[in-house]
Structure 1
Amino acid sequence: MTLDALKPLLDTDGPFATVYLESGSPTEDAEHQIRLRWDQLRTQLAEAGADETTLEALDAAIMVEDITEVQADGRVLVADAQKVLMNTAWDATLGAGDAAHWADHPQLGAYLRERASSVDMLVAITDQEGAVLRRVVASQEQTLNELEREVSGSSNAPVQKPTEGAFSTIQNRSDEAVKRNAKDIAESLDRIARRRRPDVFVLAGEVQGRSALREGLSPELQEILVETDRGGAEDDGAEEALSQELGRIAAAYAEQSVGDTHGRFEQAKAHNQAVEGAEAVARAAQMGAIDTLVLHTEHPGQDEARLLAAAAQIDSSLGLVSSELQDGIAAILRFEAPDELTSST
């Protein structure tokens, strides 16, 4: 994944306040609960040296009118002495809970790990007449975000096959109606995919609808296609089955992503295009040499926040591995490592 989320923060001098509010079930006393949680974090920040201007900016961003949304979605926020620089949903699927930091660099390692281990899926639950299209951002544990729209094909002709003995022209009209509807749905999917650039396209729904739509998909969507016959949108049972299937797909994708990064890292080491350890990674960043900053899936690396900012400054990407790393941090390089880098690892 890219480190674009850090770029708006790079032109600002620290120190920064970084706040994590874990998501939870909405309650009637949401405002009171959020106030208690934020007051505790606010006190921590003040004791750490945060100025009142920063704290007041965070007050306004957290204690909003629709406070149940903050409670349900969670939040990660970054603020400097002037204003809130980042305010986005935080689901805390890693179980990190509430936290507050006052430091020279934004403490976004936990947020970026969640982003890197989540999967952006475009989901189509289709039949022969139309489809329910969803954009789902999910992890193995749960759905993080979901947007939905319905798309209907433009054909007004019936899509059901005629009974035995009926005229063949009726069957031809039925076939053409199914193809026309599938083409319309495929075009809608292509438009969404070009805009959203999903990691995975999940095709669900009835067999005939899936078959017709599959044939009309663009090569780009076919390349990321995962088809399933589990679940749908008919009732709660079907929705639950689909949700479980999406979780399975997300887990498999995340596991593959970690494996791919590990394989790239090992190959890069074999060709002298990788370094390990905070000192070597810092030198690589100064040289503009980092292609992919590599972090452990769970454990923070030494000097991680500063090195994340440095990597974002030179348009590096981020990858996760489950194997141990020196200082918990490493990098895949854009070119063969010079002697001054390898001598420090």
Structure 2
Amino acid sequence: MRLSLLKPVIDRPGPWASVYATVPQSSEDTAKQQELTASATTAQLFALGADEATCGAVHEALLTRREGDTGAHAGRVLFAAHGAIVLDTPLPGPPAMPFAAWGPVPRVTPLLAAIGDDPVCLVVRLDRNGADFALLGERGGADGAGRTFPRASADGSSERHFRTDPANSWEHNAGEIADAVRAAFERSGAEAVVLVGEERDRHLVHDKLPEPLRALTCESTHGGRAPGAESALVDRDIAQVRAVQEREHIAQVTDRFRTGAGPGNKSAPHAAAGIPALVEAAREHRIDTLLVSPHGADIARQVWVGADADQLAVRGTELTYLGEERPAVARADDALVRSAAATGADIVVVRDPERAPSGGLGALLRGTVDATPD
């Protein structure tokens, strides 16, 4: 899971107001519903100890409808601190349970559970005259529209489209497009590519891609380069590719975790489980990938945190000894997510209870020996 979305809330000091709200359907009484939601939410936050300025910022934000919030099947997450809305982002659907929370760290785990692994996919709409690039993922393009991916030209400027010379043969142009796809893929950090266009055009470009990129590239049998060409079917194809990428990534991570956490591992451990071991690994910046299950006995356990993301402990006296004057209690899942994200770790949400770590939390560690056989 790519955590650029969380950057605004990771290093900023709390306490935090975290609000998961359902966006009311557009109707004659939408304004009234918004007012009721805003008033009830801010009253709850105030009762939990939130300051007046932060409550006011949340109230005002909930009265304002976000651009793109349409229909009944929508949700919204707000994170606010010290009188300011720091992050206001849509959910792919209504929250499983709308709530408001106030605490030393933001309640980000339900957001991660809602958006899932969110793999990045490079979508290439092509014909013999060129190609258009767009990225889906990292909370971009949830509606299928994607984000335009600029291609750097020789003079350093950016182009939204890659153009070929119609005077050249299609064989030659397909090779140029394949080179552009490779460059865009490497620069974007995408995990998969979907080619959209006429069958002959797709096949020729696909065949000219280098391995292993060819193995990560799928072709949509629907639509073409023209905007809106069978877009619903293309969106379905892209969603299927991203779902496969997510399943494969989670399976790979959980398999590695099981190997490292198993009793047969005689080499240096590359996995950790249990709150004490995870807290120690987070404090020492050794978490490479944090595994979080939405359901588990450990996720809601209390740990102690300080102002900095790597200040966490099983007991408050540990933080006091380390110089934190005002240690506070937080949920283990949110404290570990904050710490892991601050150190550049990956975070994987494991919904399958058969694959999830015992207790709901686990980690792959950095700088240790991988016991997986070659």
Range into which the TM-score falls when normalised by the shorter chain: 0.7 to 0.9
In structure 2, the residue corresponding to 1:304 is in which secondary structure? helix
1:336: how far off? Answer: 4.9
Summarize deviations over 1:176-218 as a string: whole Å, max 9, x none: 3424543554465456445532221111321111123224546
Aligned to 2:82: 81
Q: Could you say what the CA RMSD is over the residues aligned between the two structures, in angstroms? A: 3.5
User: 2:23·2:76 contact (CA, 8 Å) conserved in 1?
Assistant: yes
Aligned to 1:307: 336
Amino acid paired to 1:301: I
In structure 1, the residue corresponding to 2:285 is in which secondary structure? coil
Is residue 329 of structure 1 aligned with residue 330 of structure 2?
Answer: no
In structure 2, the residue corresponding to 1:88 is in which secondary structure? strand
Match of 1:295 among 272, 292, 295: 292
Q: Which has the higher helix share?
A: 1
User: 2:37·2:62 contact (CA, 8 Å) conserved in 1?
Assistant: no
1:188/1:229 Cα in 2 relative to 1: closer, same or farther (>3 Å)?
same
Is residue 278 of structure 1 aligned with residue 275 of structure 2?
Answer: yes
Summarize deviations over 1:61-119 as a string: whole Å, max 9, x none: 4444x6453456643221112422222232247x5253321112100002223444223
Aligned to 1:154: 164
In the alignment, the residues of structure 1 paired with residue 36 and residue 190 of structure 2 have an alpha-carbon distance, to the nearest angstrom, of 38
1:278/1:3 Cα in 2 relative to 1: closer, same or farther (>3 Å)?
farther
In the alignment, the residues of structure 2 paired with residue 22 and residue 223 of structure 1 have an alpha-carbon distance, to the nearest angstrom, of 40
In structure 1, the residue corresponding to 2:251 is in which secondary structure? helix
Aligned to 2:129: 129
In structure 2, the residue corresponding to 1:261 is in which secondary structure? helix
1:281: how far off? Answer: 0.8
Aligned to 1:167: none
In structure 2, the residue corresponding to 1:43 is in which secondary structure? helix
In structure 2, the residue corresponding to 1:106 is in which secondary structure? coil
In the alignment, the residues of structure 2 paired with residue 22 and residue 196 of structure 1 have an alpha-carbon distance, to the nearest angstrom, of 33
Aligned to 2:105: 105
User: 2:144·2:235 contact (CA, 8 Å) conserved in 1?
Assistant: no
User: 2:4·2:138 contact (CA, 8 Å) conserved in 1?
Assistant: no
1:308/1:11 Cα in 2 relative to 1: closer, same or farther (>3 Å)?
same
In the alignment, the residues of structure 1 paired with residue 25 and residue 76 of structure 2 have an alpha-carbon distance, to the nearest angstrom, of 14
Amino acid paired to 2:106: P
1:6: how far off? Answer: 3.8
1:224/1:34 Cα in 2 relative to 1: closer, same or farther (>3 Å)?
farther
1:108/1:33 Cα in 2 relative to 1: closer, same or farther (>3 Å)?
same
1:319: how far off? Answer: 2.1
In structure 2, the residue corresponding to 1:107 is in which secondary structure? coil
Per the normalisation by structure 1, the TM-score is 0.76
1:4/1:205 Cα in 2 relative to 1: closer, same or farther (>3 Å)?
closer
Is residue 246 of structure 1 aligned with residue 238 of structure 2?
Answer: yes
In structure 2, the residue corresponding to 1:89 is in which secondary structure? strand
In structure 2, the residue corresponding to 1:101 is in which secondary structure? strand
Structure 2 unaligned segments of length 5 or more: list them: 149-159, 301-331, 370-374
In the alignment, the residues of structure 1 paired with residue 34 and residue 219 of structure 2 have an alpha-carbon distance, to the nearest angstrom, of 41
In the alignment, the residues of structure 2 paired with residue 221 and residue 35 of structure 1 have an alpha-carbon distance, to the nearest angstrom, of 51
User: 1:137·1:145 contact (CA, 8 Å) conserved in 2?
Assistant: no
Amino acid paired to 1:8: P
Summarize deviations over 1:270-289 as a string: whole Å, max 9, x none: 34222212222112212222
User: 1:290·1:316 contact (CA, 8 Å) conserved in 2?
Assistant: yes
User: 2:24·2:34 contact (CA, 8 Å) conserved in 1?
Assistant: no
Q: Number of aligned residue pairs: give it.
A: 315
1:54: how far off? Answer: 0.5
Amino acid paired to 2:245: Y
User: 1:78·1:84 contact (CA, 8 Å) conserved in 2?
Assistant: yes
In structure 2, the residue corresponding to 1:119 is in which secondary structure? coil
Aligned to 1:69: 68
User: 2:5·2:138 contact (CA, 8 Å) conserved in 1?
Assistant: no
Q: Which is worse superposed, 234-243 or 282-291?
A: 234-243
1:132/1:7 Cα in 2 relative to 1: closer, same or farther (>3 Å)?
closer
1:200/1:304 Cα in 2 relative to 1: closer, same or farther (>3 Å)?
same
In the alignment, the residues of structure 2 paired with residue 2 and residue 234 of structure 1 have an alpha-carbon distance, to the nearest angstrom, of 30
In the alignment, the residues of structure 2 paired with residue 336 and residue 127 of structure 1 have an alpha-carbon distance, to the nearest angstrom, of 47
